[in-house]
Amino acid sequence: MTAIASKIGRFLKSEDGPTAVEYAVMLALIVIVCLTAIQAIGTNANATFNSVATKLSSGGGS
């Protein structure tokens, strides 16, 4: 267990530690933005398909 702790300590003291954290934060933000965009697009697409389905089932009027 102490070997793992010492490796983590060396990793955090080196310059690679902060860089890895920065990349992880950027990746997390990109994932959040992508998921939000996908959810918004999906909601709009679902509403559009429901509208089309309603119009088709009621005879196609405007």
pLDDT tier at 49, thresholds 50, 70, 90: very high
Kindly report, residue by residue over 7-38, the tens digit of the pLDDT.
877 777 777 667 888 889 999 999 999 999 99
Q: Is residue 9 within 8 Å of residue 15, measured between CB atoms?
A: no
The pLDDT value recorded for residue 2 is 86
The pLDDT value recorded for residue 62 is 58
Domain boundaries, the chain: 17-43
CA nearest 44: which of 55, 52, 31?
A: 52
pTM above 0.85, yes or no: no
